[in-house]
Structure 1
Amino acid sequence: MLLLVFVALQFYRPEKNTSQGNHASVFIAETNPPKSVKTILTETCYDCHSNNTAYPWYNNVAPFSYWLSDHVNEGKEHLNFSDWDNYSIKQIDHKLEELIEEVSKGEMPLNSYKWMHKSARLSQQQIDSIVSWAEQTRILYQLGKQPI
């Protein structure tokens, strides 16, 4: 019976989180991260915090596909770089505050993501650069200035 359920799950997969075009263009244009920070965000954050996930091969196998889908959906609930233009200034301030806190504590990226993505294992220098950029960007938003 368990084998039947496993086989059936292979045919009913969750919807993939993919989009066409530059899904984070508003976020990038508005916050203007340095190239090094932009690279880190692209390689370590966008899979779970944007509308476009680069799926690993094992996403084609249930139950991993369901597990990944849940992670992506939960990540986007907290922060979605692709929806940046839909956030109020107050929400942006809170998102940046959480980003600073989670990255500083080593809570993000998740350990389960780092296990499979070596580039997501951030050095202290990378953490410091993300936090510094996010703090500066947050201040600009608080002052009512666009970070560009």
Structure 2
Amino acid sequence: MKKIITVLLVAFIIIQFFPIDKTNPVPTPGMDFLRIKNTPPEVAAVITSSCYDCHSNETKYPWYSNFAPASWVLKNHINEGRKHLNFSTFAVYEPKKQAHKLQECIEMIEKKEMPLESYFVGHQDAKLTDEQRKILINYFKKEKSETERKMNL
């Protein structure tokens, strides 16, 4: 048993020498969802606290991001989140894709699939109340309709 604990401890120490890259891409405000959609401050605050760490280039890495293997899992979540939706580069999406992404936001929030439960461990402020869910869903629906209206002009 002592050998197993020693091996695990040595392995834990060794993996600390393989840190994640915490460099965020340089923000481009003119491409950011909140700016281009002129999002009201109260809605922007909810989106920022519940979505932006994984779905933007403005990730704020928590203390546990300094320790492997938790840092690896976290970095994978961030990479996947940005791949599926990046609010920091929302303006580069074609209008049809923007509307689709907004529909996905609506569905994920309605199904309570976002934010991820695991995200709440270190971010209790990201947990959405029923009222906040309703506000976000209505806001995303409004923006989706506006985007589709502009596409049909």
- Whether TM exceeds 0.5 here: the answer is yes
* TM-score (norm: length of structure 1): 0.89
Cα distance per residue 1:19-60 (max 9 Å; x no partner): 445657531222122211100111110000011211111110
Change (3 A) 1:20 1:40: same
Question: Which residue number corresponds to residue 58 of structure 2?
Answer: 52
The root-mean-square deviation of aligned C-alpha atoms, in Å, is 1.8
Structure (1 or 2) with the larger CA radius of gyration: 2
Alignment gaps of 5+ in structure 1: none
Give the match for residue 128 of structure 1: 134
- Which one-letter code corresponds to 1:105 in the other structure? K
Counterparts in 2 of 1:1-148, with a 5 A limit?
Answer: 1-21=7-27, 26-144=32-150
Q: Please identify, of 3-12 and 125-134, the stretch whose mean Cα deviation from structure 2 is larger.
A: 3-12
Q: Which amino acid aligns with 2:113?
A: E
Gaps of 5+ in 2: 1-6
Equivalent pair of 1:23/1:50 in contact (CA under 8 Å):
no
Aligned equivalents of 1:90, 1:81: Cα separation in 2: 16
CA contact (8 A) 1:23 1:52 kept: no
Deviations along 1:84-138, one digit per CA (max 9) or x if unpaired, are 1221111101100000000111111000012321111111111111110100000
Residues 106, 45 of structure 1: alpha-carbon distance in 2 compared, 3 angstrom cutoff: same
1:94 and 1:21, CA in 2 relative to 1: closer, same or farther beyond 3 A?
closer
Contact 2:20–2:72 under 8 Å retained in 1: yes
> For the Cα contact (< 8 Å) 2:27–2:88, is it kept in 1?
no
What is the total number of aligned residue pairs between the two structures? 145
C-alpha spacing 1:73/1:21, structure 2 compared with 1 (3 Å): closer
User: What is aligned with 2:4?
Assistant: none
Identity within the alignment, %? 39
Question: Amino acid of the residue matched to residue 58 of structure 1?
Answer: Y
